[in-house]
Structure 1
Amino acid sequence: MTLMVVGSIAIDSVQTPRGEASEALGGSACYFAYAASYFAPVRVVGVVGDDFPEDFLGILNERDEIDVSGVKQESGKTFRWKGRYHRNMNNRDTLEVQLNVFGEFDPVIPDAYRDSPYVFLANGSPTVQRKVLHQVNKPKLVVADTMDLWIETARDDLTQLLKEVDGLVLNDSEALMLTEEDLIVTAGKKILDMGPSFVIVKKGEHGAMFFGEDVTVTLPAFPTGQVVDPTGAGDSFAGGLMGYLASQDKLDGETLKRAMAYGTIVASLTVEDYSLNQIRVTDRDQIDKRLATFRDMLLLP
């Protein structure tokens, strides 16, 4: 089944303890789409400026499973982000943000995309996310991402969005902020009461937790020792998760668990190089082999 993502397309400059990458392809929609494309066809809705390098669009076009006809080019500069990671790779400082054309992004979903059965609303204003949702014709599954900025500045709109989506993805500190709780388990269950059928709380190097009405699942991160750049790991996780769900076209408990595992594996590959460099040279066989290793690691003696 086809999957649609609406989110940012960016030019990133990243500093990590391993080195740095300047003017590299980034953005939530790019990481998500590339990760998801190993499992299902992906439609991308986003905006870039007239300074966006043609070869960056070529990186997305090189995957036959990625459709970028929903990416609009506007007069102006592309969204830019510059950040620096600490030695532990978990914490980072945002050094510069230039929203540019993304700051005025008011997506209009192409007619050919409106029948997308699986929809991912990547991190963005909940007002814009709701506008997108109202342009899609009866999707089977809608999952949204959010962040602390929207919890602080647009809580009412976010609260309304949660009543209209099937799933929410956010990190642990954001879950605690949203619910004003001190424990992740309590926070996850409280978010369920706000509307979504399931919640996935990302915990960085400590993995992720899934909260559903009748089930809670915890998965550790895949223990790669080659962490070069964590940028995009969360978006890649969501892409692997949603891509697998779209490929299976079912939402039972076992499928959701396996989807979380695939998301974990794709994220572990993304962090092994800057930008999309590592995930671009990955193939489905490599993903499946790493998943098999992951499953063996989780077996109890």
Structure 2
Amino acid sequence: MKIVVVGSIAYDAVETPAGKRESQLGGSACFFSTSASYFTEVGIIGVVGNDFAPSDRSMLERHGIDTTGLVEVDGKTFRWTGEYMDDINTAVTLDTQLNVFGDFEPTLTESHANAPYLFLANIDPNIQLKVLDAMISRPKWVASDTMNLWINIARPTLIDLISKVDMLIINEDEAKQLTGQNNLPNAAKAVMNLGPKSTVVKRGEYGASLFGKTFSFAAPAYPLEQMIDPTGAGDSFAGGFMGYLWDLWKILTKNHYARLPYMAAQWLVRRGRLWAGTHKKSNKKRHQ
């Protein structure tokens, strides 16, 4: 496999102005891997309970995702309940039940541990570090995500992790919180001073910005008249981003970097979820 992702697998209950849905397959690892699978081979590392539907595992496998690292244990799968009402850009968490995810200890197969690309999705930085340390050889490219919770309660460990990755993918508010910088370019520069070669700042409906040591680039979001469910859009963006990097690494331009995967994330927001059907046959059109 080309990319390995470690993260959460969840069942989401979400309410938006477009309606309410229960027990939808979600979690950072699912959103990332499904999006990245449009471009390359992906392996997923995570844990689910014995309430995890076989049809959901089959859905991931239909996308060509390797699920040998998706471990099922006694108990219930991680559950998240939230809503997007007054501000579609901001999720309001109503309930979180970690269940089996609360005791998650990732186990890597030899194939996982030799993957050239690694994405450490938004989970406890202690777990992210364990996975990185478990790699047999240092991957060619390591990217990670994080959130305000870990900035608040696990900052020293998070800083240690950030110093060991090639790219941090983070939203604008969290970049400013992490660095104490209110100006976006200064915040991105401060992130890179912690160790990463580059950083991507997600800006919701305003797009994303890519910062390197000697360059920066901003890509707008694809304009939508109606948004159904933005849950997982950031994880889907990261999956599209890394999948596209792998697929076209040698011929990328900075403009290509940020634009295509953001369209993939906006597709999710517009349709509600990425689980709507198979994708391989239409992949060529998407590249064009």
Question: TM-score range, shorter-chain basis?
Answer: over 0.9
Q: Is the 8 A contact 1:47 1:102 kept in 2?
A: yes
Offset of 1:92 from its aligned partner?
2.2
Aligned position for 1:102: 101
Structure 2's unaligned 5+ residue stretches are none
User: Size of the alignment, in residue pairs?
Assistant: 286
Distance in 2 (alpha carbons) for counterparts of 1:279 and 1:49: 24
Determine helix, strand or coil for the equivalent of 2:114: coil
Q: Is the 8 A contact 2:63 2:278 kept in 1?
A: no
Cα deviation 1:109-142 (Å, max 9, x = unaligned): 1112111000000001111101100111221000
Q: Is the 8 A contact 1:240 1:259 kept in 2?
A: no
Aligned position for 2:19: 19
Aligned position for 1:186: 186
Pairing of 1:109-124 with structure 2 (within 5 A)? 109-124=108-123
The alignment's TM-score, normalised by the length of structure 2, stands at: 0.95
Distance in 2 (alpha carbons) for counterparts of 1:207 and 1:272: 15
Q: Is the 8 A contact 1:13 1:20 kept in 2?
A: yes
Aligned position for 1:4: 4
CA 1:162–1:284: 2 relative to 1, 3 Å: same
Aligned position for 1:298: none
Offset of 1:258 from its aligned partner?
1.4
Determine helix, strand or coil for the equivalent of 1:227: coil
CA 1:278–1:260: 2 relative to 1, 3 Å: farther
Offset of 1:249 from its aligned partner?
4.0
Q: Is the 8 A contact 2:31 2:239 kept in 1?
A: yes
Matched, 1:272 2:270: yes
CA 1:121–1:279: 2 relative to 1, 3 Å: farther
Offset of 1:184 from its aligned partner?
1.1
Offset of 1:278 from its aligned partner?
4.2
20-29 or 84-93, which deviates more: 84-93
134-143 or 267-276, which deviates more: 267-276
Aligned position for 1:139: 139
Distance in 2 (alpha carbons) for counterparts of 1:153 and 1:52: 30
Q: Is the 8 A contact 1:227 1:271 kept in 2?
A: yes
Aligned position for 1:168: 168
The alignment's TM-score, normalised by the length of structure 1, stands at: 0.91
CA RMSD of aligned residues (A): 1.6
Cα deviation 1:31-76 (Å, max 9, x = unaligned): 1111101111001111000111111111101123x11111001111
Offset of 1:158 from its aligned partner?
0.7
Determine helix, strand or coil for the equivalent of 2:134: coil
What percentage of aligned pairs have identical amino acids? Answer: 43
Structure 1's unaligned 5+ residue stretches are 290-301
Aligned position for 1:79: 78
Distance in 1 (alpha carbons) for counterparts of 2:276 and 2:153: 35
Structure 1 stretches of 4+ moved >4 Å: 278-282
Distance in 1 (alpha carbons) for counterparts of 2:271 and 2:95: 21
Cα deviation 1:223-262 (Å, max 9, x = unaligned): 1223100001000100000001112344x8x445413212
Distance in 2 (alpha carbons) for counterparts of 1:37 and 1:172: 26
Distance in 2 (alpha carbons) for counterparts of 1:271 and 1:286: 20
Matched, 1:60 2:60: yes
Determine helix, strand or coil for the equivalent of 1:225: coil
